Amino acid sequence: VLSGCGVYDGTEIHEASAILVHLSRGGAEVQMYAPDVPQMHVIDHSKGQPAEAESRNVLVESARIARGKIASLAKLTTADHDAVIFPGGFGAAKNLSTFAVDGKDCKVNREVERVLKDFHKAGKPIGLCCISPVLAAKVLSGAEVTVGHEEEEGGKWPYAGTAGAIKELGGKHCVKEVTISFPVNFHVERQFAHVDTKNKVVTTPAFMCETELHNIFDGIGAMVKNVLKLTGK
């Protein structure tokens, strides 16, 4: 499920690509969706500032990442799919919810909320990365998620405050890494992703951390691997 195209006002493109690569490697068939709604605003990514008097549609922009093969989120049903995955990017906090503006008092897009609740009720896994775990924390009471660390640690975790917001939303936050720590855990992928086995919610920090791109890629791979494992296929 995409939220636009571009980290500051939509889907984080590297995260979406990493998810698609790992799903492909895992032998999964993929269908992409996005809500057919206007973006909260448009950001000029070369300046990091809002582009005044410009508007874009989330579905139309998401089609850039999907290479045109995308459908309205309203058409997504649990009957047609084994799992659902949400990349990060500010679009998750601006277009799929109002978290970027309202924090713990945020509202979640009606279709996003429906999808999360439907997959949860059906016992089908939900994967989320970067900032998107806030969606699960808001909609699925008591869900265990990770956005990485809970302290900024000199700028390594610039969005560490999100962990506190997750707790205020009613979720449980679990600290996870984006690089291998020593001694190495036998289940290395569990260092990169948190698996809430009760709710079948799998999360990984991704770009919540300032680190090299390959670390982001590997962490997302751990999330995807665990999502696929939970499908039982």
- Model pLDDT for residues 116-164, shown as the tens digit of each residue: 999 999 999 999 999 999 999 999 999 999 999 999 999 999 999 999 9
Q: How many domains does the chain have?
A: 1
Which CATH number belongs to the domain containing residue 207 in this structure?
Answer: 3.40.50.880
Q: Which residues of 176-208 are buried (b: 16+ CB within 10 A; e: fewer)?
A: bbbeeeeeeeeeebebbbbbbeebbbbbbbbbb
User: How far is residue 26's CA from residue 229's CA, in Å, rounded to a whole number?
Assistant: 10
Instruction: Please report, as a single letter, which amino acid is at residue 11.
Output: T
Q: Is residue 6 part of a domain?
A: no
pTM of the model: 0.95
Place of tokens 């990493």: 18
Cα(38)–Cα(81) distance, integer angstroms: 26
If one counts every other C-beta atom within 10 angstroms of the C-beta of residue 108, the result is: 21
pLDDT in tens, the chain (233 residues): 999 999 999 999 999 999 999 999 999 999 999 999 999 999 999 999 999 999 999 999 999 999 999 999 999 999 999 999 999 999 999 999 999 999 999 999 999 999 999 999 999 999 999 999 999 999 999 999 999 999 999 999 999 999 999 999 999 999 998 876 545 454 555 678 999 999 999 999 999 999 999 999 999 999 999 999 999 98
95: containing domain: 13-231
In the block, tokens 């302290």 appear at 151
Q: What's the confidence (pLDDT) of residue 193? A: 95
Is position 3 within any domain? no
The answer to whether residue 4 is domain-embedded is: no
Give catalytic residues, as residue numbers.
130
* Strand intervals (E) in 60-200: 70-72, 84-86, 126-129, 144-148, 172-175, 194-196
Asked whether residue 28 is domain-assigned, the answer is: yes
pLDDT for the residue 178: 87
**Is residue 179 situated within a structural domain?**
yes
